Chain A
């Protein structure tokens, strides 16, 4: 292993060592709760900078793990996202009654799993990363073990998640049996030959179904609303953004035969169906939701649908669009959940629309940021969410999939209604519930950072887009 490879796996080493150190701190001192947020913030910041520095150098570790390039870009998103999540957790977990050191250790371990998934060059590593991420999420969802809601979310997430993992493992087994190898590059290079084997097709199908659970697309979405509503708000923010990005990073790699080898578009019917069903179904159901966390859960299904449009198109342009979209979505959704985490009270209350009525008068800054995130999620032009959708839809049109782009546009028109309703409640309604909002510096910092990223990616999308296209070459 030469020096540059060592530099490139440094983020993994730093995070793994950090987790071990954090466990020791938690065991041998009583200061874990106070120290760990700052400790992991510094680690994630260092990791994001290290990953950003290695984006242009690409290599791999024993054909198992891709380093640099696309993987480094995803690691950058994961690290920044995790940093924001840690910041918005600091005060929230105290309110939520889950101020344990383990919380941060589990959070960091889940990020380690995501980094493995984004860099996976072998089905072993995909599976390992998926499990490391999911198992930590199951615990994080139920981190307060005295709350009924948290326990229910945890159980539902576990049952459906483990079920999906079963599909993925069985699929990997069949793929291994027909290809004789678990190396992803080998499978992609022999893709057209392997496609003639029925076992391979079945395996690939099961693999995709398993991952469709993880990205929360329509026929496999039944766990999403309950889990997102019942889990702690900061955890929901984490798993709806970078958790989804990690699952998409694997899918993007899996459809690369379409992108680079010119193989027949065999994935198209599957992903087109997912896209149409998720966008239309979830955007209509979201209108009926009054709980903001539940509404954002449906909104996350809609966004998974938009990204599936990109997967169905499968050209370089739409893949770049998906990655842009994932980056933009990470910041706007984490920001929105950050605001909800600040407004929420001790007993899971104040997460419905009524609590946000008249927020403008109580806390103009918080209301302003929430409005920014809602506009971004709705896809109003000069914000990050608009360009994410724009690139994905243009990718679809370039592939002569005009109908998918039209479905996407229809769904975004419908979804403007429920995003703007939040803004209307905040600015044009009088407050219905008299309560005080206690802001805290770390929480506000998280919201501020997300807001800045949403604005930067919206006003100067070409910065991010250039970076992504350079990574995809």
Chain B
């Protein structure tokens, strides 16, 4: 039986953060990039909750995680609306091909 300590949580969250970062940088589909951003935000949530549990810092961290979840939901709603508009005007959602503005 492995004893799960703070370090384990931090390692998992660091991995999630890196995966999110990798997803944002390499993915071409706007929806996949969005998922990368969600991974980054949720890795931060794991940190908050883990610190709150192991550090005896009170409930601040848990509340902060709730804040992040709510704002991430708002952000996702906006993002999907933007992606939908992109699909309507460009007929695709490939982030790399959306660069009409460069001269």
Give the interface of A toward B (CB within 8 A): 124, 127-128, 131, 135, 138-139, 142, 145-149, 151-156, 158-159, 162-163, 165-167, 169-170, 172-174, 176-177, 180-182, 225-226, 229-230, 290-291, 294
Contact = CB atoms under 8 A, between A and B. Distances in A.
B51 A176 contact: yes
Interface in B83-103: 83, 85-86, 88-90, 95, 98-103
B78 A135 contact: yes
A149 B86 CA distance: 10
Nearest to A168: B44
Interface in B36-53: 37, 40-41, 43-45, 47-48, 50-51
A149 B60 contact: no
Contacts of A176: 47-48, 51, 57, 60-61, 64
Given A177-B51, A290-B103, 18 more contacts: A128-B71, A131-B75, A138-B82, A148-B89, A149-B100, A152-B98, A153-B101, A163-B40, A165-B75, A166-B44, A167-B40, A169-B40, A170-B44, A170-B47, A173-B44, A176-B47, A176-B64, A177-B50
A65 B58 CA distance: 21
A351 B80 CA distance: 30
B84 to A, nearest CB: 9
30 contacts: A124-B64, A127-B68, A128-B67, A135-B71, A142-B82, A145-B85, A145-B88, A147-B89, A148-B100, A149-B100, A149-B101, A151-B89, A154-B82, A166-B44, A167-B40, A170-B17, A170-B47, A172-B44, A172-B64, A173-B47, A174-B47, A176-B57, A176-B61, A177-B51, A177-B55, A177-B61, A180-B55, A226-B99, A226-B102, A291-B103
B51 A169 contact: no
Nearest to B101: A226
Given A173-B47, A177-B55, A152 B85 contact: no
A151 B85 contact: yes
Contacts of B89: 145-148, 151
Contacts of B100: 148-149, 152
Contacts of B47: 170, 173-174, 176-177
A155 B30 contact: yes
Interface residues of B, number: 45
A52 to B, nearest CB: 31
A206 to B, nearest CB: 9
A149 B98 CA distance: 10
Interface of B is mostly: helix
Contact of B78 (A153, A158, A166, A169): A158
A57 to B, nearest CB: 29
B17 A162 contact: no
Most A Cβ at <10 Å: residue of B13, B20, B30, B81? B81
Given A135-B75, A291-B103, A169 B98 contact: no
A294 B101 CA distance: 10
Nearest to A162: B37
Most A Cβ at <10 Å: residue of B43, B45, B71, B102? B71
B83 A170 contact: no
Given A148-B89, A182-B64, A131 B74 contact: yes
B92 to A, nearest CB: 12
Contacts of A148: 89-90, 100
A131 B70 CA distance: 11
A159 B24 contact: yes
Contacts of A165: 41, 75
Contacts of A145: 85, 88-89
A21 to B, nearest CB: 21
B79 interface: yes
B71 A151 contact: no
A151 B90 contact: yes
Contacts of B30: 155, 159
A11 B31 CA distance: 38
Given A135-B78, A176-B51, A177-B51, A166 B20 contact: yes
Most A Cβ at <10 Å: residue of B78, B85, B95, B101? B101
Contact of B101 (A124, A127, A152): A152
A165 B75 CA distance: 10
Contacts of B75: 131, 135, 162, 165
Given A148-B100, A163-B24, A180 B57 contact: yes
B25 to A, nearest CB: 9
Q: Which 8 A-B pairs have the closest CB atoms?
A: A166-B40, A173-B47, A177-B51, A169-B44, A170-B44, A173-B44, A131-B71, A226-B101
B57 A181 contact: yes
B74 A159 contact: no
A152 B99 contact: yes
B79 A170 contact: no
